[in-house]
Amino acid sequence: MTKGTEMDVDNLIAIDTHTHLEVSCRNPFDNYGEEYDRAADKYFRSSKRPTMDETLAYYRERKIGFVNFTVDAESQLGRRRISNEEIAEAALANSDIMIAFASIDPHKGKMGAREARRLIEEFGVKGFKFHPTVQGFEPQDRMAWPLYEVIAEFELPAIFHSGHSGIGSGMRCGGGLRLQNSNPMMLEDVAIAFPDIQIVIAHPSWPWQDEAISLAMHKPNIWIDLSGWSPKYFPPQLVQYANTLLKDRILFGSDFPLITPDRWMKDFAEAGFKPEIQPLILKENAMRLLKLGPKASPTP
């Protein structure tokens, strides 16, 4: 399959490194486990599920580049995933503004690793997304090693959900989902074993924010994205380190569609981030992580 051109960063005001596709235009809707959607709607006070075309139009209108993915949690949730190919093909057709990450359930083992390699080589996928709570695994579990080995071979980034999860919140027994799987300290073994993977800790990691900051301070292949929360609620130590010692490894992410860039960027401007740091967070750090343009080296 023909690869797309590179994202047109010169004409973008920002790069949103954390967006989801939750509606497939190819697969019939799978309503199995829909109670998780309703719990998330209540938690985030949002019920919007835009299509890929609607997502593209939204970001193109705002001149914001975006990284898009789904979450493959078929083993734990029993719910049919949105195909990685659907997202990858949209990115190839809209590469000026969109980058595709893939999501593969780590329980798929070597078959998952084969899929990862095919998606990279044939569809130009640029990274991977994991959600340990929803996927039902601990990041350091050797079960996931075959997937990590492929990601490391191609020196691609991997985003890991961290901290509390709006998915399952308020459901009986939290829907059976384990928050402990998303303690960022569980990424330490991964960061040590796979130094060629740039690991992104997604979200303010409440209640483990200090652990996330410590990991990023200690290991230069660990980054933090600011998705999933309005910036006005960010823990003060996260803003402090983003303004200082971690300024080169903090990333803008919204968690669209559950939180929109419109809301996020409005609150970001008033959240205490230094004016000279804001361009790093909004675009320049993502350019290095994603190897875009002249700032293509991921190491600060």
Encode the chain (300 residues) as per-residue pLDDT tens digits.
Answer: 545 678 999 999 999 999 999 887 787 676 666 777 777 777 777 667 899 999 999 999 999 999 999 999 999 999 889 999 999 999 999 999 999 999 999 999 999 999 999 999 999 999 999 999 999 999 999 999 999 999 999 999 999 999 999 888 888 988 899 999 999 999 999 999 999 999 999 999 999 999 999 999 999 999 999 999 999 999 999 999 999 999 999 999 999 999 999 999 999 999 999 999 999 999 999 999 999 976 555 665
Smallest Cα–Cα separation from 237: which of 263, 216, 258? 216
pLDDT of residue 98: 98
Q: Tell me the three state secondary structure of residue 224.
A: strand
pLDDT of residue 237: 98
pLDDT of residue 57: 97
Residues forming a β-bridge with 224: 201, 250
Q: Token digits for 231?
A: 């910036």
**Whole-number Å distance between alpha carbons of 122 and 172:** 42
Confirm if 184 and 212 have CB atoms less than 8 A apart: yes
**Whole-number Å distance between alpha carbons of 203 and 212:** 10
Delimit the domains of the chain by residue range.
9-289
**Overall pTM surpassing 0.75 (yes/no):** yes
Q: Residue 147: enclosing H or E segment and its boundaries?
A: helix 145-153
C-alpha separations of 184 from 69, 97, 129, 299 in Å: 20, 30, 15, 20
pLDDT of residue 265: 96
Q: Token digits for 49?
A: 């599920």
Q: Residue 64: enclosing H or E segment and its boundaries?
A: strand 64-69
**Whole-number Å distance between alpha carbons of 262 and 225:** 17
pLDDT of residue 61: 97
Instruction: Just give the CATH number of 9-289.
Output: 3.20.20.140
**Whole-number Å distance between alpha carbons of 247 and 19:** 22
pLDDT of residue 300: 57
